[in-house]
Amino acid sequence: NYAELSAKNKQYVWHPFTQMKDYVAQEPLIIARGEGIKLFDVNGKAYYDGFSSVWLNVHGHNVPELNQAITEQLDQIAHSTLLGMANVPSILLAEKLINLAPEGLSKVFYSDNGATAVEISLKMAFQYWQNRGQTGKYSFITMNNAYHGDTIGATSVGAIPLYHQVYKPLLFSPHVIPYPYPYRQGGEEAAVQATLSSLESLLKERAHEIAAMIVEPVVQGASGMIIMPDGCLKKIAELLRAYDVLLIADEVATGFGRTGKMFACEHDGVVPDIMAVAKGLTGGYLPVAATLVTEQIYDAFFADYEEQKTFFHGHSFTGNPLGCAVALANLRLMEERGVVEQVAQKAINLDQLLEPLRDLPHVGDIRQKGLMAGIELVRDKETKEPYHWNERIGLRVCQIAREKGLLTRPLGNVIVFIPPLVSTPEELADMVRILTESIQDVTTGETEE
Ligand code: LLP
């Protein structure tokens, strides 16, 4: 069975974010089922889901309440469209989302994944100014090493050269300011200062032609779990408001309790004009995403048809009833079980568990907010010299971790640890043990000094 599936996988499937030449040379991991925070491959071997199946799992896998929400909805209808009509779960979910979101966000526009929620955010921000007659405000600000998804608009505001460089001729060009990276910018104060001063001078010169700034609030994920010092997001939001530029918060990775608040913006008491959410929205079950906006944004599109202010955007599966039903069940379960409050508690626990890793000879920095963590490995701890990308140190650590029963994906030299939000203290400890051993195994042979 495994051999057959493996052969067919190689023959037919092109995997995302994967160099297939490397991939087909190895025996693939083929997942058969999940239970709690563990995944089981077709041979029956168990693994901790140490990256929440790409940062989205909340209650674990195969959760009875979530399964039931889907089967109950399935008995009604699997899909009907939101184009010009409504369905029951999408209405109830929208109400719930607005109740949970930072106060001031009041309308929900559905889509299917993080990139499309971002794409919609960008188009809305652009058209907002067009609809208001300020047609010169058309450009965007993004941040160094940003990642917002892989569609063309989302790629345009992406700033990770490895992912984005090749597409440059296809893309629009935003202004790029630095994301604060205290470890490599001489500490928190200097890093925040660099961000705010470049934002302010850009706004002084060009705010009249800028529609919006897009930000990964508090944690910049795909760049390596880089964390904004407290207060930085608030200052960014204040500057943007002062210069009449919209704030788009991309909460795709950080939303739904991941950082210890329902949304990361809440750490700094920030209410964005537009907020993109996905991943954890359905507990990690089905592809549903949403773009939430303030009444002010919505109003700029609300007009007589002849004024041509309609937002002409939508997807066939927008507002999918199965997805919305499980999202609603997920959010109810999160509330009933106090998941977000528990994440804040577990974060303290995880911080203690990760502390001893700081003493390892090749651990340069450990960054963590809630249950979202990254361990940055360096060749030389003194000089912070990175490992050469071609050594694929992160990948090697994750391969060993997989053998030891934990799955995660590296981001270059950063080991990602994003466990399901329901992981218990014991499970967290066991997962950190595996990560520690894996880092030691790979980097010990490297320590020749
Ligand atoms: N925005 C943020 C902040 C994200 O972190 C992501 C995905 C997206 C948008 C896009 O959401 P999607 O379209 O995937 O639903 N490529 C890396 C990590 C990607 C992490 C997923 N984040 C890797 O190879 O592991």
Of 15, 54, 251, which is best to mutate to test ligand 1, by the most ligand atoms within 8 angstroms of its C-beta?
A: 54
Counting from 1 in the atom list of ligand 1, the atom nearest the Cα of 16 is 24
Q: What is the β-pairing status of strands 139-143 and 210-215?
A: parallel
Domains defined for the chain, CATH in brackets = 2-59+338-444 (3.90.1150.10), 67-336 (3.40.640.10)
Burial class from Cβ neighbours inside 10 Å (0-12, 13-18, 19+) for residue 133 reads exposed
Produce one character per residue of 186-207: b if its CB has 16 or more CB atoms within 10 Å, e if not.
eebeebbebbbebbbebbeeeb
pLDDT tens track of the chain, all 449 residues? 999 999 999 999 999 999 999 999 999 999 999 999 999 999 999 999 999 999 999 999 999 999 999 999 999 999 999 999 999 999 999 999 999 999 999 999 999 999 999 999 999 999 999 999 999 999 999 999 999 999 999 999 999 988 888 999 999 999 999 999 999 999 999 999 999 999 999 999 999 999 999 999 999 999 999 999 999 999 999 999 999 999 999 999 999 999 999 999 999 999 999 999 999 999 999 999 999 999 999 999 999 999 999 999 999 999 999 999 999 999 999 999 999 999 999 999 999 999 999 999 999 999 999 999 999 999 999 999 999 999 999 999 999 999 999 999 999 999 999 999 999 999 999 999 999 999 999 998 655 44
Is residue 114 within 6 Å of ligand 1 at its C-beta? yes
Report yes or no: 96 and 334 within 8 Å, Cβ to Cβ. no
Atom of ligand 1 nearest to the CA of 151: 13
Q: Which of 19, 55, 252, 259 has most ligand 1 atoms within 8 Å of its beta carbon, as the pocket-test mutant?
A: 252
Start-to-end CA span in the chain (Å): 47
pTM of the model: 0.97
Contact 260, 91 (CB under 8 A): no
Check residue 446 and give its pLDDT: 57
Task: Give, for ligand 1, the residue of 22, 121, 142, 148 to mutate: max count of ligand atoms closer than 8 Å to Cβ.
Answer: 148
The pLDDT score that the predictor gives to residue 165 is: 85
